[in-house]
Amino acid sequence: FARPIAKALVARREAGQPVRTTAELSNVVAGAVKTREAGQNPATRTFQALRIHVNRELGELQDALEAALKMLAPGGRLAVISFHSLEDRIVKTFIAKHSRDEVDRRAPFAPPKAKLLHSLGRVKPSDGEVLDNPRARSAVLRVAERTEVPWSHELAQPEGGAGAGKARGKRDKGARR
How does DSSP classify residue 172?
Answer: P
pLDDT at 62: 98
Report domain extents, the chain: 2-54, 57-154
Q: What is the pLDDT of residue 151?
A: 67
- What architecture (CATH level 2) is domain 57-154? 3-Layer(aba) Sandwich (3.40)
pLDDT at 64 (0 to 100) = 97
Say if residues 81 and 124 touch (Cβ distance below 8 Å). Answer: no
Q: Which residues contact 19 (CB under 8 A, 6 or more apart)?
A: 9, 12, 13, 25, 28
pLDDT given at position 77: 96
φ and ψ at 72, to 5 degrees?
-70, 130
Mean pLDDT by 10 residues, the chain (177 residues): 92 94 94 79 90 96 96 94 96 94 79 86 96 94 91 52 42 45
Q: How far apart are CA 29 and CA 47, in angstroms?
A: 10
Beta strands in the chain, from DSSP E residues, in sequence order: 77-82, 117-123, 140-146
Q: The pTM is what?
A: 0.73
CA distance 84 to 150: 33
